[in-house]
Structure 1
Amino acid sequence: MAEHRATPRHRVLKAGIIEFGGGAIDCTVRNMSEAGAALDVASPIGIPDRFGLILPAEGRCLPCHVVWRKEKRIGVAFDRDQ
């Protein structure tokens, strides 16, 4: 399979939190690059198109938007201009 991403992603296994409008959903970060990530979620239903991805172990919150959705995984791109 050809790689179509602008920056290569690296496999990781990190705890994350999807935070939006006062709500929060736990997720697992499965792969990540400087430009985006793939997140495992219980269900993508109810997750908005834009949210903050909190990485508690790193003490970071990354604003991002959804690029694609599957049954239990979503792909996001990081919003660097915010």
Structure 2
Amino acid sequence: MDDKRKYPRIDIEELAYVSSGGSVMSCVVRNISPAGAAIDVDNPAFVPQRFRLVMAKDSSVRDCRVIWIQKNRIGLAFVDPEEAARRS
């Protein structure tokens, strides 16, 4: 299978949080790149299509959108803040 990603992903195992509309859910970031990430969650049904990913280690925040879901793993694309503002 060809990898069509623009940037290679780096494998990590870091605690983070899915934040949307005042609710917060913990997750584990499994890999990350400048353009996106893959996270594991307990129940993907509770993850909205767009949300903020807050990294526990340094409290950095990225706006995200869901690209794919396979079981408990979710593939994310990071959304440029200017693009997110245009869509709101």
Smaller-chain TM-score bracket:
over 0.9
Aligned CA RMSD, in angstroms, stands at 1.0
Unaligned runs of 5+ in 2: 83-88
**Which letter does structure 1 place at the counterpart of 2:68?**
W
Paired residue secondary structure (2:44): coil
Using structure 2 for the length normalisation, give the TM-score: 0.88
Aligned to 2:20: 20
Paired residue secondary structure (1:42): coil
Larger Rg: 2
Paired residue secondary structure (1:45): helix
Question: Following superposition, which runs of at least 4 residues in structure 1 exceed 6 angstroms of deviation?
Answer: none
Matched, 1:43 2:40: no
Q: CA deviation at 1:55?
A: 0.3
Using structure 1 for the length normalisation, give the TM-score: 0.94
Q: Does the Cα contact within 8 Å between 2:63 and 2:81 map onto a contact in 1?
A: no
Paired residue secondary structure (1:8): coil
**Which letter does structure 1 place at the counterpart of 2:15?**
A
String of CA shifts for 1:39-65, please: whole Å, max 9, x gaps: 001110121000000002122010010
Paired residue secondary structure (2:71): coil
Q: CA deviation at 1:2?
A: 2.3
* Residues paired across the two proteins, number: 82
Bigger share in helix: 2
Matched, 1:74 2:63: no
